[in-house]
A and B are shown apart, each in its own frame.
Chain A
């Protein structure tokens, strides 16, 4: 029951927020004490322009892991409306230029997957454990399979 309702909520969130990945798990401590490892963030992507102070989730070209940091600098062009963005983790000493691709100084709109609008503590640990210790994932699926086979109805 939990698994099916979680799936329904996930799909529902995907429709409501209009993004492919409406929930992200915080993987590092770079936004502490606000967000700790294992928290989950609800994302929302709207056409509003990106402004300083927003917490955004972005991908660096060529890397899969999404990064959740705060926008500290915005330069928006007069004519095209395109933006150059610089981000930084609250708990990091320096800005994210070290994380960007080689030679990249700014992020653009297309790098941003969404803005963080809400937050739930601790719930993401389930995902972290299942990713980092896949044996637990297999055990869980095995146990669920056994339950299905052995149930009397």
Chain B
């Protein structure tokens, strides 16, 4: 009952339990943070808009993205993963979400940013439904903590529209 082995076992178990409790408390403290991020995305240019050989529409856009995500950061935040997705509906598909651009914000200093970019990932439809299509641009963020629960949310921006004709 009082051997070295038994005592070492008890100490290590207690240490691991306390560590686990501290990690969950760190994670719980994130729930008290009320984020208030802002974002604005402008489509500056439709670079080209074509139907591929396999029948799928593809469009290339240049975007201007400005956002302030600094209210998402807490002491338990390791990084924030942010991405912009185009969302639209077609007769065949109830929902299409295509990520156009993503980035990693490593710290609060980088959380207020402005970027001018073409889409990092290709916007290709399943089919040929994009002419004149109205779509939303959503800015999603994913808060990745140093330990514990991850949080994700988004801002939906509506009112974007693709051209009626290919170019």
Q: Which A residues form the contact surface with B (CB < 8 A)?
A: 1-2, 5, 33-35, 51-55, 70, 72-78, 81, 84, 90, 95, 116-121, 147, 151-153
Known A33-B78, A119-B144, A121-B147; contact A72-B99, beta-carbon cutoff 8 A: yes
Interchain CB contact under 8 A, B5 and A151: yes
Residues of chain A within 8 A (CB-CB) of B5 are: 147, 151
In Å, the complex CA distance between A98 and B98 comes to 19
Give 4 closest A-B pairs by Cβ, nearest first.
Answer: A72-B99, A52-B97, A74-B97, A53-B140
In Å, the complex CA distance between A45 and B167 comes to 43
Choose from A1, A34, A73, A84 the contact partner of B144 (Cβ within 8 Å).
A34
Interchain CB contact under 8 A, A33 and B142: no
Closest chain A CB from B117 CB (angstroms): 16
Q: A34-B79, A52-B85, A95-B121 are in contact. List 12 more A-B contacts (CB 8 A).
A: A1-B13, A5-B17, A33-B104, A33-B106, A34-B81, A55-B142, A70-B81, A72-B99, A72-B121, A74-B95, A76-B94, A153-B1
Residues of chain B within 8 A (CB-CB) of A54 are: 152
Interchain CB contact under 8 A, A34 and B93: no
